[in-house]
């Protein structure tokens, strides 16, 4: 090689040597960096989706199961006991039964129990013992002592509530 060639002038230059590959194969046993990050993400997403599915299923299953389940027995709060000696002829006795206003009427024969809500607009009916009638103060509806409509804007009778006599009590359940 000549001195001229060693210093190299622009006209004498040749192509640079080829580049060696910069990417080296991974070492044995080393995991790829992408999989290190995606595995925990995948697990987290699966857990979140599973949790949301469980909560969604619970919001559907619980109300349906509650609706279909029948109570085994009536609790004491679901039973009204009225002593028969507290019932006086031609007088009414009002009681609340699980949020429903009841009226117990005794006209000398058998005590009868009705829903005390007028079937027209739901006002509380009043018992007129002298006439053996119920009167609704809201719109003047009148029912006889069997709860059947007599006059006024009402067309349906008062709802009869089942009751029985047990050991000196009128039991409403």
User: Distance between CA 15 and CA 12 in Å, rounded?
Assistant: 10
DSSP 52-86: HHHHHHHHHHHHHHHHHPPPSS--GGG-EEEEGGG
Its domain, for residue 159, covers: 77-172
In a domain, 45, yes or no: no
In a domain, 44, yes or no: no
In a domain, 11, yes or no: no
> What is the pTM for the complete model shown?
0.54
In a domain, 90, yes or no: yes
CATH code assigned at 153: 2.102.10.10
Nearest CA-CA partner of 107 in 87, 126, 134: 87
Q: What is the pLDDT along the chain (173 residues), one digit of tens a residue?
A: 555 555 555 555 666 666 665 556 656 555 555 556 677 888 999 999 999 999 888 888 877 777 676 554 444 557 888 888 888 888 888 888 888 888 988 877 788 899 999 998 889 999 998 898 999 998 899 999 899 999 999 889 999 988 888 888 888 87
């Amino acid at each position: 090689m000549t001195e001229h060639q060693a210093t190299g002038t622009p006209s004498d230059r040749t192509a640079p040597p080829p580049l060696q590959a910069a990417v080296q194969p991974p070492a044995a046993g080393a995991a790829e960096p992408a999989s290190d990050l995606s595995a925990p993400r995948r697990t987290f997403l699966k857990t979140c989706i599973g949790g949301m599915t469980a909560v969604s299923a619970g919001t559907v299953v619980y109300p349906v199961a509650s609706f279909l389940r029948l109570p085994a027995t009536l609790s004491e709060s679901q039973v009204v006991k009225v002593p028969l000696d507290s019932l006086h002829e031609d007088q009414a006795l009002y009681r609340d039964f699980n949020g429903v206003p009841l009226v117990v009427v005794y006209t000398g024969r058998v005590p009868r129990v009705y829903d005390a809500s007028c079937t027209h607009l739901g006002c509380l009916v009043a018992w007129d013992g002298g006439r053996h009638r119920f009167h609704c103060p809201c719109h003047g509806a009148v029912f006889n002592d069997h709860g059947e409509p007599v006059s006024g804007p009402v067309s349906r009778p008062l709802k009869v509530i089942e009751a029985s006599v047990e050991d000196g009590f009128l039991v409403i359940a």
